[in-house]
Amino acid sequence: MKTNTINLNQTITLTESQQKALQEACDFIAPTWPLDQWIAVNPWWELRDKPIQEVAAQLAALAQVQALPSKSYFEPLWLSRILPSHLEKAMQESGIEVDQNTCESHLLSSDEAAHWHNISDLMDSGRDRLHRMAWRDEITHQISQFCAFYFHDSEVCSQFSNGSDGFYHSWLKATQADLGIEIIMAEDGLTELFQALPDTPEALIAEALRDLQVSDRYVGDYAHALLLDMNGWASWVAYERWQDRLNQQPNGLMMELLAIRLAWELVLWRYQKQKSRSVFGELKFLWRHQLAKLKDLKKSHAQAQQLTWIWQRASEIAYQEGLHEQLQTPPPAEQPKPLMQAAFCIDVRSEVMRRSLEAQDERIQTLGFAGFFGLPMEYQAPGSSLVRPQLPGLLKPNVRLTPILDPEQVQKQKAIFNRKARWLDWGSAAPATFSMVEASGLLYAFKLLRNTLFPEPHQHPVNDLEVGKTWALSQDNQPLSLQQLVDLAAGILKAMGLNKNLAQFVLLVGHGSQTCNNPHAAGLDCGACGGQTGELNVRVLAYLLNRLDIREGLMAQGIDIPETTEFIAALHNTTTDDIKCFDIEEVDEQLEFWLENASDFCRQERALRLGLPKLNRNELNKEIRSRAKDWSQVRPEWGLANNASFIVAPRHRTAHLNLQGRSFLHDYNADSDSQFGLLELIMTAPMVVTNWINLQYYASVCDNYKYGSGNKVLHNVVGGNIGVFEGNGGDLRIGLSMQSIHNGEDWMHEPLRLSVYIDAPQTAIEDIAARHEAVGNLIKNEWLFLFHWGKDGKISRFNGSEWLEVA
Q: Identity (one letter) of the amino acid at 789?
A: W
Return the closest-CA partner of residue 605 out of 528, 526, 662. Answer: 662
Give the 3-state secondary structure of 270-330.
HHHHHHCHHHHHHHHHHHHHHHHCHHHHHHHHHHHHHHHHHHHHHHHHHHHHHHHHHHCCC
3-state secondary structure of 367: strand
Q: Rounded distance, CA 624 to CA 20, Å?
A: 54
Question: Which is it for the CA torsion 505, 506, 508, 513, positive or negative?
Answer: positive
3-state secondary structure of 526: strand
Q: Which residues contact 439 (CB under 8 A, 6 or more apart)?
A: none
Question: Which is it for the CA torsion 487, 489, 493, 498, positive or negative?
Answer: negative
3-state secondary structure of 622: helix
Residue 475 pairs in a beta bridge with 478
Asked if 690 and 716 count as a contact pair (C-beta separation under 8 A), the reply is: no
Phi, psi values for residue 366, rounded to 5°: -115, 155
Please tell me whether 345 is known to bind a ligand.
yes
Return the half-sphere exposure (C-beta side, CA atoms, 13 A cut-off) of residue 453: 5
Q: Which residues contact 489 (CB under 8 A, 6 or more apart)?
A: 541, 544, 545, 550, 554
Q: Rounded distance, CA 736 to CA 718, Å?
A: 16
Please tell me whether 511 is known to bind a ligand.
yes
Asked if 545 and 484 count as a contact pair (C-beta separation under 8 A), the reply is: no
Q: How many CB atoms lie within 10 A of CB 17?
A: 13
Asked if 62 and 115 count as a contact pair (C-beta separation under 8 A), the reply is: yes
Please tell me whether 347 is known to bind a ligand.
yes
What DSSP string runs through 478-518?
A: EEPPHHHHHHHHHHHHHHHT-SSS--SEEEEEEEE---SS-
> What single-letter DSSP state applies at residue 30?
P
Please tell me whether 157 is known to bind a ligand.
no
Across the beta sheet with 795-798, the strand order is 663-666, 645-648, 755-758, 785-789, 795-798, 803-805
Q: How many CB atoms lie within 10 A of CB 595?
A: 26
Return the closest-CA partner of residue 297 out of 60, 493, 480. Answer: 60
| 163 CA to centre of own chain | 35
Which residues fall in the annotated binding site for Zn(2+)?
345, 347, 511, 526
Which residues fall in the annotated binding site?
345, 347, 511, 526
